[in-house]
Each structure stands twice: as C-alpha cells, then as structure tokens.
C-alpha cells in the first residue's frame, strides 16, 4: 500500500450502521475520536509553526539581521525537535492500538469487522514508514538546522500529517460501533 492507496476511500471496508447502539455505548465508542482530537491538536500546532517558519524563512525583500538569523536557526531546530516528538507520540498511539485495542475488538469480530481491522493494520504499516522518514529528517534538522534539512523535514511532516488525518477519520468512524458495543477499554 502506498500513501495514495491509503487515502483511497472507496477501497476501505465499511461497517453497516448499528441503530441498536445505546447512547452510552455510542459515547464510549466516540472516545477514540476524542483521543485522535488530542493528536490532531498536536499536528495543528506543528503545522502552525511550519507556516510561521515559511514566512520568516522567505524573509520578504530585506536581509535578515544576524540576530534574526540566529533566531531562525533556533526555530528551525525547534521544528525538528517537535516533529521528532510527534513521531514518538504517534508511534506510541499505534502501538497501543495494535497491542491492546485491536486484539480486544478481534475477540468479538465478525468478518466485516475483521476486514476493517486488517485494513487499519495495513494503513499503520504505511504510516510507520512515514514516521520513520520524518524521524530521520527531523533528527537531521535538529542537529543541522539549515534550509535544505528544513525543506526535507517539512515535506515529510506534510506527508505524515495528511496520511494520519485520513487514517484517524476512517478508524474512529468504523470502530465507534465495535468499541461501544463491547465496551472495549480505550
Ligand atoms: Fe490507528
Ligand atoms: Fe488511532
């Protein structure tokens, strides 16, 4: 699966709606989306820093002073550091899902639910590769904050950001019912 395949909505298995879910069960199932909101907030903050750096980095039509240059270098390194931190956070989230949440769902899974779990695990593999790419370029940028390293790290961040948001949306929508129905710990 490629990052483009990951976003192919038509290829993603879907579960039928379950109108029999109680409000409490539905609320429980929605907790995964709330956890994803926390990660989306993290990604929003990094994207905002990236947007600021792009404005500062182009510098308009004047030369940056030495002090501004040093500040920019520090901010580039900071971008590398926060990207590295997000890699660790996102990897941890997927590790928890694969070690605890997916196996608990699989205990009750119909063929349709299992097809969703298989697809989610395949998406995790793609995202894992994107995390590894960003981890490497983020480490390089934090150590050597120049414009080339920044461009590489920014491109890797944007690829991961796009893929993980697409994955979150699919995962939280499809797992709401099985998580809620079987009160799976989230
Ligand atoms: Fe996931
Ligand atoms: Fe998730």
- pLDDT recorded at residue 116: 98
Ion ligand 2, residues whose Cβ is below 5 A away: 171
State pLDDT tens for residues 34-81: 999 999 999 999 999 999 888 766 544 455 566 667 888 899 999 999
CA 171 to ligand 2 center in whole angstroms = 6
CATH of the domain at 33: 1.20.120
How many domains does the chain fold into? 1
Radius of gyration of the CA atoms of the chain, in A? 20
Considering the domain boundaries, does residue 4 fall inside one? no
Domain membership flag for residue 12 = no
Domain annotation covers residue 124: yes
Average pLDDT score over the chain:
93
Query: Is this prediction's pTM over 0.95?
Result: no
CA of 127 from ligand 1 middle (Å) equals: 9
């Amino acid at each position: 699966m490629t990052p483009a395949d990951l976003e192919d909505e038509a290829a993603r298995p879907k579960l039928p709606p379950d109108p029999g879910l109680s409000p409490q069960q539905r609320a429980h199932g929605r907790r995964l989306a709330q956890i994803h909101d926390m990660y989306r907030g993290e990604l929003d903050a990094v994207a905002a820093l990236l947007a600021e750096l792009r404005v500062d980095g182009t510098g308009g039509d004047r030369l940056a002073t030495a002090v501004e240059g040093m500040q920019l270098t520090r901010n580039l390194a900071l971008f590398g550091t926060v990207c590295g931190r997000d890699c660790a956070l996102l990897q941890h989230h997927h590790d928890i899902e694969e070690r605890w949440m997916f196996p608990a769902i699989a205990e009750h899974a119909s063929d349709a639910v299992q097809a969703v779990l298989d697809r989610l695990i395949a998406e995790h593999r793609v995202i894992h590769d994107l995390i590894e790419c960003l981890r490497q370029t983020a480490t390089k940028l934090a150590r050597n904050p120049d414009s080339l390293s920044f461009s590489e790290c920014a491109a890797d961040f944007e690829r991961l950001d796009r893929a993980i948001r697409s994955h979150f949306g699919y995962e939280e929508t499809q797992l709401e019912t099985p998580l809620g129905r079987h009160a799976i710990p989230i």
